[in-house]
A and B are shown apart, each in its own frame.
Chain A
């Protein structure tokens, strides 16, 4: 359980997610890492260049900072702290509680990420240089996928978790294992 509580801290060392945009004109694809507290370039100036591309279809610039960059790190610190307390004081039932807490919070985080992506991809400048519509006449959105790959005009967008996310996932999984191991040991006794 101790390991479970510590693993999510890997998020402060490694990026959580990566969005990559491929197009023929970009032999080196454009890429952006999402960290727990920051956006960063995969290669120098990538975010600037993503913004430049996106302004043609009226997408907003990727902000320097978002409120989540303050909330998420605090959330991870607090839940890790709770996990540590449980590791030392709590019994195995609490392990399950922490597991459910983490799954809920992570899902909420993903949903928040989805909402941001949706807004980023759909809340377009009405004076956009190029306006695209779907076959049904509705405005075309440019939302990158939450998970997986998707064709968006001339770009192929990939969105996949990175090392930080695996640390978080592994931490959550470890807590579940800790719960079952704890349960088994109790039964034996």
Chain B
């Protein structure tokens, strides 16, 4: 009987296969369109080939997409509060958003970069910068959660960040806005010569990735726009693009666009590292937050650090040089070999490419055109490798496919242009819809890019999707770059502003992705690891509820003896140890978000009851067939009542 069934099913599927083959031919405009759809089609239940971590720009978060499907999997809260996940709302993660300015619930998240080992991305962590209140965050890719944030002192508009060196020795954070260092009350018009720009080198501890500021290089008061590390032969160097070498402080669009050339600053960080390791540099008073989330306690702690090591370039001769680069270069991109440094002069008609070998030569032979605040300026001609002539308007960023090609975005002419390294000839161009900013090839910032796709992240979408009022969706576009010509495959909407992205093969991350947190390893001070451990403890007007969840009930689910004016902490432990069984909890009138608690985790929210009554709480994540029954009551008595404190599950109180 079973065999008959099986053959019947087999017959049916063959029939279905034939009919579905026929359909597209008759209904689609051409075979080509069908072909494009196939390239991004990931069948239900199948997995994408690549992860793409796309920053949310002014949303402050980091989104996780699959490529080539363009499907959104998760929004990882980084710099902004997220009520859905209780990030920045629960007691455990509030310290993550602490800064020297107090609790800052938002930032502008720009440049995700994946950690590397031996010049190849290793899929362990993603680093990302907060621009506004300068911070660098680390997202742990075993849990897809933000586990560390360090504030950057002496910085403002933390934009030329957060790029990692080829063994993740450092993640680098450069200032966009120069400021008085240290901060002080002074006239803005005295900017020139008095404001400084800091380039911060944050060491990354190899085992757990803990971040610590190793040193800050105090540079002239330019705007440090973007950066990339040297690799291969140029490993040990870091390159920063600058604009506003005019050192203007007002009407910047005009006043910072006067010089024919600005600079790419080349920093020999190995030399400075050696200098500080031998006791060089000056320890300067500072005040910045270092916030660390501990997976064992499921809690973050915030520590204020009080000093930072600063280095003046003039103290370390031969460590910093300036490479003249036409017209306010924006992107500063290094090719996989480490030889070419592309300066995307955003107001220039041409693309300027510098040579690392020529730079070393020029330094050796002292081919300098002068200096800026004591930093040698190398002769433009002596460092220039080549020029891509008139490739488009408004070049911003360049990535590489590892096959000798470079891909540059042009904001004004709204296109991606493919050109050849070494011959500087343009190979292909494809329009973007519209005004593309960054682009991303998985592994693009490494010695080994995976040159199959490029994602273009657009600044404007206009009519590209169904309209949603004045504010329309943000969007990215996927191109196939496996052939000689690029092919547009897909438009897909993104969160916030899709500023920049980092991508890597899914197999690098997938096997390491955690399914649950082990309850046995839970070291949360208020965890209840079994229903026997649940209790309610009063200490003055502070009440701690040690509560558990398991399908499909809370323990306890009846609580009496709470009073108006109490501060009631719900410490809720999810006893589940099964994949994808989170529980949520929310309390009527609590001035905070829900909790969303993963299996084995403990989270806490604060409730300050203001009215007498019997108030319900319930599970907010549809957990099981009896999810609707997953609820409880808290009796709140008047402040001067003497209702005794009691709690229970499955029996009536008294």
Contact = CB atoms under 8 A, between A and B. Distances in A.
A28, A49, A52, A130: residue with the most chain B Cβ atoms closer than 10 Å: A52
A44 B626 contact: no
B578 A49 contact: yes
B550 A52 contact: yes
Contact of A52 (B516, B551, B579): B551
B577 A45 contact: yes
Interface string B541-583: 0000000001100000000000000000000000011110000
Contacts of A116: none
Contacts of B579: 28
A70 interface: no
Contacts, number: 17
B626 A45 contact: no
Interface in B461-516: 516
Contacts of B626: 56, 129
Contacts of B532: none
Contacts of B625: 56, 130
A184 interface: no
Contact of B578 (A52, A129, A130): A52
For the residues of A in contact with B, the DSSP-based class is mixed
Contacts of B516: 45
A93 interface: no
A183 interface: no
Interface in A23-50: 28, 44-45, 48-49
B377 to A, nearest CB: 61
Nearest to B45: A27
A50 to B, nearest CB: 10
B516, B578, B625: residue with the most chain A Cβ atoms closer than 10 Å: B578
Nearest to B580: A25
Interface string B604-640: 0000000000000000000001100000000000000
Interface string A122-162: 00000001100000000000000000000000000000000
Contacts of A48: 577-578
B257 to A, nearest CB: 57
Contacts of B551: 52
Interface of B: 516, 550-551, 576-579, 625-626
Nearest to B577: A45
A73 B416 CA distance: 72
Interface residues of A, number: 9
Ranked 7 nearest A-B pairs via Cβ = A45-B577, A49-B578, A48-B577, A52-B551, A129-B626, A45-B578, A56-B625
A130 B624 CA distance: 13
Interface of A: 28, 44-45, 48-49, 52, 56, 129-130
Nearest to A56: B625
Contact of B577 (A44, A56, A129): A44
A44 B577 CA distance: 8
Contacts of A45: 516, 577-578
Given A44-B577, A56-B625, 12 more contacts: A45-B577, A45-B578, A48-B577, A48-B578, A49-B577, A52-B550, A52-B551, A52-B576, A52-B578, A56-B626, A129-B626, A130-B625
Contacts of A49: 577-578
A49 B516 CA distance: 13
13 contacts: A28-B579, A44-B577, A45-B516, A45-B577, A45-B578, A48-B578, A49-B577, A49-B578, A52-B551, A52-B578, A56-B626, A129-B626, A130-B625
Nearest to B550: A52
A128 to B, nearest CB: 12
A49 B575 CA distance: 11
Contacts of A129: 626
A187 to B, nearest CB: 47
Contacts of A44: 577
B555 to A, nearest CB: 14
Nearest to B516: A45
Contacts of A130: 625
Nearest to B600: A45
Nearest to B575: A48
A42 to B, nearest CB: 13
Contacts of B577: 44-45, 48-49
A28 B550 CA distance: 20
A20 B551 CA distance: 21
Contacts of B550: 52
A81 B222 CA distance: 88
A47 to B, nearest CB: 10
A154 to B, nearest CB: 10
A41 to B, nearest CB: 10
A81 B433 CA distance: 82
Contacts of A28: 579
A39 B551 CA distance: 23
A168 B551 CA distance: 40
B516, B550, B577: residue with the most chain A Cβ atoms closer than 10 Å: B577
A52 B575 CA distance: 11
Contacts of A52: 550-551, 576, 578
A101 B48 CA distance: 58
A52 B550 CA distance: 9
A48 B550 CA distance: 11
A28 B576 CA distance: 16
Contacts of A56: 625-626
A56 B627 CA distance: 12
B580 to A, nearest CB: 9
A28 B580 CA distance: 12
A52 B579 CA distance: 13
A6 to B, nearest CB: 38
A45 B578 CA distance: 7
B511 to A, nearest CB: 14
B42 to A, nearest CB: 17
A11 to B, nearest CB: 29
A54 to B, nearest CB: 12
A48 B530 CA distance: 13
A48 B626 CA distance: 18
Nearest to A28: B579
Nearest to B519: A45
A45 B551 CA distance: 15
